[in-house]
Chains A and B, each alone.
Chain A
Amino acid sequence: MSEFQPVSGKLLTKPFVFLSLLVMLAFAILGARFLFGLGAVTNLNDGYPWGIWVVIDVMIGTAFGCAGYAVALMVYVLNKGEYHPLVRSAVLAGLFGYTLGGMAVIFDLGRYWQFYTLLMPGYINLNSAMLEVALCVMAYVVVLWIEFSPAFLERLGLKDLNRKLGKLLFFIVALGVLLPTMHQSSLGTLATVFGHRLEPLWQTQLLPLLFLLSALLMGFAIVPFESLLASFGFARRSETPLLARLAGAFTILLGVYLVIRFGDIIVRGALGDAFALNTFAVAFWLENILFIAPFVVLLKKENRYNQRILFASATSLLLAGSIYRLNTYIVGFHPAVEGWSYFPSAAEIMVTVGIFSLEVVLYLIVVKKLPVLPRAEAA
Chain B
Amino acid sequence: MSMNRRDFLKLGAASVAGAGVSGNAGAVMREPLSLPPEAVGMLYDSTLCIGCKACMSACKQANGLPPQPEGEDEPMWDSPVETTGDTYNVIKVYIDGDAAQKDREENGFAFMKRHCLHCVDPSCISACPVSAMIKDPQTGVVSYNADSCIGCRYCIAGCPFGIPKYQFDDPLGAIGKCSFCSHLQAKGLTPACCDVCPTGASLFGTVEDLKKEAHRRLEATPGDNYVFPRGNLSEDRPPHEGAIPLYEQHVYGEKELGGTQVMYMSAVPFEKLGLPVNVPEYGYPAITEGIQHMLYQWMVAPIAVLAGLVYVVKRNTSGKSGGEHSSGEAES
Contact = CB atoms under 8 A, between A and B. Distances in A.
B317 to A, nearest CB: 5
A173 B328 CA distance: 14
Contacts of A339: 82
Nearest to A40: B169
B184 interface: no
B156 interface: yes
Interface string B275-286: 010111000110
B234 interface: no
Contacts of B16: 206, 209, 260
Q: Which of B150, B156, B158 neighbours the largest number of chain A CB atoms within 10 Å of its CB?
A: B150
A336 B284 contact: no
Contacts of B309: 77, 173-175, 177-178
Contacts, number: 271
Interface stretch (B19-27, B45-53, B66-74, B202-210): B19-27
Given A171-B310, A178-B306, A181-B11, A131 B19 contact: no
Interface string A3-38: 110000000000000000000000000000011111
Nearest to B297: A126
A89 to B, nearest CB: 12
A262 B216 CA distance: 49
Interface residues of B, number: 93
A117 B148 contact: yes
A363 B174 CA distance: 37
Interface residues of A, number: 91
Interface string B287-320: 1111111011000001001100110111011101
Interface stretch (B36-44, B120-128, B217-225, B238-246): B120-128
Nearest to A76: B313
B149 A338 contact: no
B82 A204 contact: no
Interface string A37-60: 111101011110110000000000
Given A195-B160, A195-B284, 4 more contacts: A49-B157, A77-B313, A268-B23, A338-B274
Interface of B: 1, 4, 11-12, 15-16, 18-20, 22-23, 27-28, 82, 84-85, 114, 123, 125-132, 146-154, 156-163, 165-175, 257, 274, 276, 278-280, 284-285, 287-293, 295-296, 302, 305-306, 309-310, 312-314, 316-318, 320, 323-332
